[in-house]
Amino acid sequence: MTADDPYLWLEELDSPPAARWVADRNAETLAAFADEGFARAKDAIREVLDSKDRIPYPGWRGDGLYYDFWQDADHPRGLWRRTTPEQYRRDEPEWDVLIDVDALNVAEGENWVWGGATVLRPGYDRCLVSLSRGGADAVVVREFDLRGRVFVDGGFTLPEAKSDVGWIDADHIYVGTDFGPGTLTASGYPRVVKRWRRGTALSEAELVYEGHVDDVAAGASHDSTPGYERDFVGRSLDFYRSELHLRRPTGDLVKVDIPDDAGCDVERDWLLIWLRTPWTVGGATYPAGALLAAPFGAYLEGRRDLSVLFEPDDRTSLGSFAWTRNHLILTTMTDVRTRLHVLTPDAAGWRRRPLPGAGELDDAWIVDTDPDNDDSYLTASAGFLRPETLSLDTVGGAVEVLKRAPAFFDPEGMEVRQHFVASADGTRVPYFVVGGATPAPTLLTGYGGFEISQTPHYDGVVGRRWLARGGTYVVANIRGGGEFGPAWHQAALREKRVKAFEDFAAVAADLVARGITTPAQLGIEGGSNGGLLMGVMLTRCPALFGAVVATVPLLDMRRYTKLLAGASWIAEYGDPDVDADWAYLREFSPYHNVRPGRSYPPVLFMTSTRDDRVHPGHARKMVALLREHGYDVSYYENVEGGHGAAADNEQAATLWALTLEYLWRKLGGA
């Protein structure tokens, strides 16, 4: 305990006093919802989450099979499984179960949560499986035999850490992990990368590359594409700047000479570069948000023959891209409305053709491509009122619908609208409104950070437990996100963060001005960086809202860099140890802006003890401070779940039921 921070003791993750405090707060919150209405809500949400009619979204691993990770009521921790394309087309495919995580937990007395798998190419007979205890970012890595369906005795194994691993060949992997003191960055990620040979101790692995302590992370990868085998190493200087080097067989490094804030991708003959800031090279200037292409070999030799594959405008940005064998699929957004395009390089340049996509206010996205297959790719589309459709498309234009997701609520009488509002500085900010008759209890959500876009989506939980009860649902596309490219994100970086908060407040005020809701009926919800947004709204403009829910939130901007992965976000928020940065951070840090005697709306904070990305101390301390001043504040901390706050559908249903029931009751829902 200190005079500056009397609740510092709540940062002690598992100390008996902190554990007792958490248990008491959990008991209070659950007691308030120990009724039939909450039980019905939770059961209805479980039906959505556990539905066996959901689409099992597949991924290609290069062997022609569809891989999927699946959770339902019978398999709460999930099955990693695969099937053939022919079987997948059936209503009830025959799945080849590779790992049953629930059975593994019983056999090993663990609480494993699936963390993914990296399959060896081109053999496809081994993989590196990541398992986390309770859903944390830190994982245990174990080699798995895909033919024998067993973990490999004496195979590659790493203890719990925030590791980064990848295959080189059957007997070697690249590994970045906690090798001991000095081998992690200040953010807690690997600083040192080694080449580890099968049958040898990890301590004997060959040093390949070292980053700096102040970097976010360092890593290495091997490209096993036949005829293009090569290795890369690099480091993330901060969240948006990085360096990449081609690693020659001799161990020599050749830097890929691009702006350090640009992203890049190397696929076969091509280098792709996407820009966050304008770049002048070879006598030409390319704008922020552009996607460029160049022959990789010629680029390394110093030639700068760049082709512009995408150039943004004030309304249009690049969403994502993915390669087939010889084609590039692009997703673009115009006023947060997605479009798909296929680009094909030939002797005359790059040919471009639009692809079938989503409806006017729906969203379309690339699910997966197989870089070894030049014909097909998987896409999906959905809208706020239209469940997902998964299709197998070809670059030739053929579209085969593979799966349609079920509807979890009746959209009769509902509509989707998009509005724009002028923020405090006049910037035009879009938002989507979903629902029927107004005014109504309204749930407004937003994020506004890390260049992450909020696009239309089908949410059976929100639909069933909010829209179907007569509520209105709103998604705000505020600055800090990526909806209009890098400039939209950079407009709310660091000392300009207030722009994101002004945008969100403008949307809230516009909802009232349009008669969609009233302040007393307007609830807001957000998680992680969105949880920071909720904390700022609570302390900055409480009169706009009737209730607030913040999940796994970032709230103490004075100490965030000292807690877990916080140092990796300095490029986003600023460094509180620098006086000039703290001068603006303290103006919006929620924990430092709680004041007595204000009319704060009721607020619910939720987090996870196992969140090793955003420390649960943020939410704990905020709740303790609000309680000290007598405010209406509730708290729930899930033991498991990591940064997602839930390790299985039962836990997720509890969190969703708390969120929606809390807001519905506080906002006067019928």
> What residues are annotated to the active site?
528, 643
For residue 277, how many other CB atoms are within 10 A of its CB? 15
Within 8 A by CB and 6+ apart from 478, the residues are: 429, 446, 447, 448, 492, 500, 503, 504, 507
| Separation CA 276–CA 239 (nearest Å) | 12
The gap from C-alpha 462 to its chain's centroid, in whole angstroms, comes to 19
Q: Report DSSP letters for 369-381, one per residue.
A: E-TT-SSEEEEEE
Sole residue written with tokens 């090993």? 108
Residue of 603, 609, 660 lying closest to 633 (CA atoms): 603
Task: State the Cα torsion 617-623-625-630 to the nearest 10°.
Answer: -170
DSSP-derived pairing of the beta strands 442-445 and 522-527? parallel
| Separation CA 52–CA 71 (nearest Å) | 9
Name the token pair of 617.
């101390």
DSSP-derived pairing of the beta strands 442-445 and 472-476? parallel
Residue of 123, 116, 121, 74 lying closest to 99 (CA atoms): 116
- E strands, 179-336, in order: 192-197, 206-210, 217-223, 230-236, 242-247, 253-255, 263-267, 270-274, 279-281, 284-286, 291-295, 307-310, 316-323, 328-334
Say whether the peptide bond before residue 553 is cis (omega within 30 degrees of 0). Answer: no
For residue 332, how many other CB atoms are within 10 A of its CB? 20
Instruction: Check: CB of residue 366 under 8 Å from CB of residue 331.
Output: yes
Residue of 556, 520, 522 lying closest to 536 (CA atoms): 556
Element (H, E) at 79: strand 75-83
Name the token pair of 653.
């249903």
How many residues are there in the chain?
A: 670
**Which contacts qualify for 389-397: CB closer than 8 Å, 24 or more apart?**
390/55, 390/57, 393/355, 393/356, 395/324, 395/327, 395/342, 395/344, 397/355, 397/356
